[in-house]
């Protein structure tokens, strides 16, 4: 799946599930989700559930990091990399 499609789906999920009460909030793909107050620790868990159901990837405990899940673009890179690993296996 192209990274652009992962970005679009992830953006839509964040908008629909975390920003629905803040329609004027502008979130860039590289903006930090936690630092901007978009998601909290429970939101991270919801995001993991979304990634599992939407993209069919498993997220290990040690992969729950700011580097992997800190922004929409980080999530897209992480999902793309996980998908490539799954395809190669």
Give pLDDT tens digits for 37-82: 999 999 999 999 999 999 999 999 999 999 999 999 999 999 999 9
Scanning 1-89, the segments in alpha helix (DSSP H) are 3-18, 41-55, 66-69, 72-88
All domains of the chain in start order, with CATH: 3-88 (1.10.1200.10)
Tokens in use for 79? Answer: 């999902």
Tokens in use for 23? Answer: 């329609």
pLDDT of residue 89: 65
Q: In the structure, what pLDDT confidence band is assigned to residue 26 with cuts at 50, 70 and 90?
A: very high
């Amino acid at each position: 799946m192209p990274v652009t499609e992962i970005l679009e789906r992830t953006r839509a999920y964040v908008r629909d599930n975390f920003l629905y009460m803040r329609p004027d909030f502008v979130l860039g793909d590289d903006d930090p989700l936690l630092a901007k107050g978009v998601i909290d620790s429970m939101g991270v868990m919801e995001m993991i559930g979304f990634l599992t159901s939407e993209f069919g990837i498993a997220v290990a405990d040690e992969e729950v990091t700011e580097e992997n899940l800190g922004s929409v673009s980080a999530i897209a890179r992480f999902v793309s990399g996980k998908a490539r690993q799954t395809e190669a296996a």
